[in-house]
Amino acid sequence: MSFPIEKFRSLRTPFYYYDTVLLDETLEAIKRELRPNQHVHYAVKACTTPKVLHHITQAGLGADCVSGGEIQACLDAGFPAHRIVYAGVGKSDWEIELGLKAGIFCFNVESIPELEVINELARKLGKTAQVAFRINPNVGAHTHDNITTGLAENKFGIAMEDMVDVVMKTREMTNVECIGLHFHIGSQILEMDDFATLSLRINELQETLESYGIVLPHINVGGGLGIDYKQPDEHPIPDFKAYFSTFNQYLQLRKGQQLHFELGRSIVGQCGSLISRVLYIKQGAVKKFVIIDAGMTDLIRPALYDAYHKVENLTSQEGKECYDVVGPICESSDVFVKNYTLPVTHRGDLVALRSAGAYGEIMASGYNCRPLPKGYTNEDF
Ligand code: LLP
């Protein structure tokens, strides 16, 4: 990826930089693979920077939201309500009401108590809510424990054994209509076998439902496709062909059934970088530190998930030296990379923490009273 380094020099760091050319190419790569009965709802939780959302709405994708705030951000960004799905284990009444009033496509429901509340709130508003049940398929994903969601022990979804009862229950309710099943097994998944296993589990569940005479028009397989954090320049666009063809091969849809995806990271991950300035080079007792002005408050993934983001010195190419790259926050977990080879680095150099477009800016916090990082795109310069 090339960066407008001269433009960066005058900006206050740290900030996020999004390459919308790569974003558009990524969106095109997805659209090339989609069949007419397949729909992608961008998982907005990955990044809600308005300029990024704008490109995604322009590409015609829907949105997958997990809060009232996200629903509002999507409506403001121009996503049509009929392409918005709304998931989450703990939906507040005002959030449900916002979704009902806007007329969103579907509530992905995670429990019976939640279903009852949606039914009641919809009744009061004189509406019928379309719902899909998030089923916990007890399928593991080969990823970090903190981002695995589809195991029986996780808090997400309705147990498979309860699926038929729950679907039957909606039939007695006046203001909800069950239109589908929803799944999501985890995030940063790179083994297509995990999606194949999910597909086979969905086939079993569909057969069970069919034995009760139930066929639902929509299947939503969630998101989770990973990106190459190690080699972002070699693999700037994820292998969407392999991803979609896994579902095409293993998932048996019924006639007329629509298939929905909720991709987040794979859409925006590679187009974003966190740009930071080197404050000090510090020789410690046993290590040399590059202290940058971005910290875990700006990009929490390394501290929270041991995640790796490639660090690139944008302004020095000379020589080689081994460093720990750390932030200014008063926490020992405020470390980006350890024992890392960079060109010889100096105060004032600009560095990019790559592949930070997803779950980067949006997870920033104001801890230590730090200002939130701004988000720029190539179109701003
Ligand atoms: N659908 C549901 C129901 C989800 O919970 C998620 C992500 C997605 C879709 C999108 O998944 P993706 O395609 O982005 O993998 N903060 C963590 C990731 C948390 C993901 C939570 N759910 C990280 O920085 O790695």
| Sequential pLDDT tens for the chain (381 residues) | 899 999 999 999 999 999 999 999 999 999 999 999 999 999 999 999 999 999 999 999 999 999 999 999 999 999 999 999 999 999 999 999 999 999 999 999 999 999 999 999 999 999 999 999 999 888 876 666 666 666 666 667 898 899 999 999 999 999 999 999 999 999 999 999 999 999 999 999 999 999 999 999 999 999 999 999 999 999 999 999 999 999 999 999 999 999 999 999 999 999 999 999 999 999 999 999 999 999 999 999 999 999 999 999 999 999 999 999 999 999 999 999 999 999 999 999 999 999 999 999 999 999 999 999 999 999 999
Q: What is the pLDDT of residue 149?
A: 64
Return the bridge partners of 276, or none: 351
Mutate to test the pocket of ligand 1, among 44, 265, 268 (most ligand atoms within 8 A of CB): 265
Spatial separation of the C-alpha atoms in residues 340 and 231, rounded to whole Å: 15
- Ramachandran class of 26: left when φ > 0, alpha when ψ lies in -120 to 50, beta otherwise: alpha
**Is any atom of ligand 1 closer than 6 Å to the C-beta of 310?**
no
Instruction: Using alpha carbons, list the distances in angstroms from residue 263 to 63, 64, 243.
Output: 9, 9, 11
Residue having the nearest C-alpha atom to atom 9 of ligand 1: 223
Distance 105 CA to ligand 1 centre (A): 20
Q: What is the pLDDT of residue 198?
A: 97
In a mutational test of the pocket of ligand 1, which residue from 262, 267, 308, 365 has the highest number of ligand atoms less than 8 Å from its CB?
Answer: 262
Evaluate: CB of 184 within 6 angstroms of ligand 1.
yes
Task: Say if ligand 1 is within 6 A of residue 46 CB.
Answer: yes
Which among 105, 179, 110, 190 has a CA at the least distance from the CA of 150?
Answer: 110
What residues does each domain of the chain span?
Answer: 5-14+270-380, 20-269
State the number of CA atoms in the 13 A half-sphere of 167 facing the CB: 23
Ligand 1 atom closest to Cα of 304? 24
Tell me the CA–centroid distance for residue 322 and ligand 1, in Å: 33
Q: Provide the CB-side half-sphere exposure for 137 (13 A, CA).
A: 26
Structure confidence at residue 143 (pLDDT): 67
Round to whole Å and give the CA distance between 251 and 239.
18
pTM of the model: 0.96
Q: Which DSSP symbol is given to 298?
A: T
The residues, any chain, with a CB within 8 Å of residue 366's CB and separated by 6 or more, are 297, 372
Give the chain's largest Cα–Cα span: 72
Looking at the CA of residue 224, tell me the nearest atom of ligand 1.
15
**Ligand 1 lined by 43 (C-beta under 6 Å):** yes
Does the domain made of 20-269 have the CATH classification 3.40.50.1000? no
Q: Could you tell which of 39, 45, 188 is best to mutate to test the pocket of ligand 1, judged by most ligand atoms within 8 Å of the CB? A: 45
Q: Could you give the CA distance from residue 369 to residue 329 in angstroms, rounded to a whole number?
A: 11
Quote the pLDDT of residue 156.
Answer: 76
Best residue among 187, 240, 355 to mutate for probing ligand 1's pocket (most ligand atoms within 8 Å of CB) is 187
Task: Give the bridge partners for 375, in sequence order.
Answer: 16
CATH number of the structural domain 5-14+270-380: 2.40.37.10
Whether 265 is in the pocket of ligand 1, judged by its Cβ within 6 Å, is yes
- The sign of the torsion formed by the CA atoms of 232, 233, 236, 241 equals negative
Distance 141 CA to ligand 1 centre (A): 12
pLDDT confidence of residue 146: 66
The token pair at 137 is 């398929």
Place of tokens 């083994």: 191
Whether ligand 1 lies within 6 angstroms of the CB of 187 is answered as: yes
Q: Is 222 in the pocket of ligand 1 (CB under 6 A)?
A: yes
- For ligand 1, is residue 301 a contact (CB within 6 Å)? yes
∠ CA 234-238-239, nearest 5°, is 105
Predicted confidence at residue 1, as pLDDT, reads 84
Instruction: Please report the atom of ligand 1 found closest to the CA of residue 301.
Output: 24
Please tell me what DSSP assigns to residue 36.
Answer: T
Cβ–Cβ < 8 Å for 163, 208: yes
Identical fold for domains 5-14+270-380 and 20-269, yes or no, is no
pLDDT at position 157 is 85
**Dihedral (CA of 139, 87, 35, 143) sign:** negative
Cα separation of 229 and 357, whole Å?
A: 11
